Amino acid sequence: MKSEKISDAVVRRLPVYLRFLNELSHREVLTVSSQELGQKLDLNPAQIRKDLAYFGDFGRKGIGYDVSYLIEKIRQILNLDQQINVALVGAGNLGQALSNYNTYVKDNMRIIAVFDANPDKIGKKVKDITIQPIEELEQTVRDKHIQIGIITVPDVEAQRVADQLVAAGIGAILNFAPTIIKVPSDVRIHAADFTTDLISLAYYLQSGKELPENES
């Protein structure tokens, strides 16, 4: 009986575990050790055991974890035992690319509505979803029980879109716009800003780099 909250870092690793476990299940592998998980996922086996212990101690020494049980548990914890509907706002190149990745987003999570402000795009399709005008966002989010919004609009429009999503009662937002968005504390927001990721990589380019103060 654990009552501690799962840390954000662990929550972010759960989908990674889940993806590999699904792969194992697909290959009809029944059990997996923390060593195997660690090797495949480039994580410390002790870290993995600690992460998985959050969900009850169901790994067995010498045998490992039961793959299907672990999948079921992680899906429960991630709320993936229910259908989760996602709206995509912004049908530009990035939005369209994300829709194509919709096949990866199995696990009961699906983009079911796409919105854009550009009249030329309304009525066209992204995959099999018809692009709706952004004016329909709030109503559709409510009617279709959409719980997560993905924002792929230009940065100047991102806050307004977020406000609309929040007003419609969305629970979480994945923001690709390269800007900081403010939401009420009961709405979860993740920044998926790859320009930040990309630029931060430059730091690591010179091996053994020291802080500038030390370069003299």
Site for a copy of itself in 12-51 (CB under 8 A): 12, 14-16, 18-20, 40-42
Among 73, 87, 115, 161, binds a copy of itself (CB under 8 A): 73
Burial of 101 (0-12, 13-18, 19+ CB in 10 A): exposed
Site string for a copy of itself, 84-113 (x = CB under 8 A): x-x-----xxx-xxx-xx--xx-x-x----
Among 28, 120, 128, 213, binds a copy of itself (CB under 8 A): 213
Please report, as a single letter, which amino acid is at residue 42: D
55 binds a copy of itself (CB under 8 A): yes
Among 33, 34, 132, 147, binds a copy of itself (CB under 8 A): 147
> CB of 162 within 8 A of CB of 110?
no
Stretch binding a copy of itself (CB under 8 A), from 24-32, 45-53, 117-125, 176-184: 176-184
Please report, as a single letter, which amino acid is at residue 105: V
Please report, as a single letter, which amino acid is at residue 36: E
Stretch binding a copy of itself (CB under 8 A), from 116-124, 135-143, 160-168, 173-181: 173-181
212 binds a copy of itself (CB under 8 A): yes
Among 28, 120, 128, 210, binds a copy of itself (CB under 8 A): 210
CB of 123 vs a copy of itself, minimal distance in Å: 20
Q: What does 117-181 look like in DSSP terms, one character per residue?
A: S-TTTTT-EETTEEEEEGGGHHHHHHHTTEEEEEE-S-HHHHHHHHHHHHHTT--EEEE-SSS--
Consecutive H or E run containing 3: none
Structure tokens at 193: 């800003």
Q: Which residues are annotated as a binding site for NAD(+)?
A: 90-95
